[in-house]
Amino acid sequence: MSISQARRLCVALCLCLVTPAAALAGTLCATDNINPANNTVVLKTDPDFAAGAIVGLHGWLSNGTVTIPMHGTAVVDSAGARVKIAIQGIDNVRHQHVGIAIDTDLMLNGSGTFENVNPGRPFTYDIIPVTWTALDSCPDAPP
């Protein structure tokens, strides 16, 4: 193999490995059933929800007036059909910790808990059952 052939092979391999990884990331969004807030969550996945994958998530949760940056992890089952998600964020305006844990399909249709650690002395810890329903289109990111 000549040096020229080796360089072409390296370039071809590098392009093949980099391009699919960038194409696999996605954005998912859903709304919850908690009244009257009807929170919307928008999550960007680092890689795709592939069978057995552990996926990093980041995005935001909004009720229309307050937006909370969120981050967390998803674990996809071995069949590649369902995912367990745990995300958390801090509402700096209300000094409140927000956590969401859901068992869902790959489009965010599922149920779990919405957890708040509210400020105050003593603090309160609320656990609220929640159902998420996927949205057809994701809202724009907050300003």
For residue 83, give Cα distances in angstroms to 5, 15, 57. 44, 30, 12
Integer Cα distance of 60 and 58 in angstroms = 7
- What per-residue confidence (pLDDT) applies to 119? 80
pTM of the model: 0.75
- What per-residue confidence (pLDDT) applies to 25? 59
Examine the pLDDT at 33 and tell me if it is beyond 50.
yes
39-78 pLDDT tens trace: 899 999 988 899 999 999 999 999 888 899 999 999 999 9
Q: What is the DSSP code (8-state) at residue 1?
A: -
Residue 139 preceded by cis peptide, ω within 30: no
- What per-residue confidence (pLDDT) applies to 13? 33
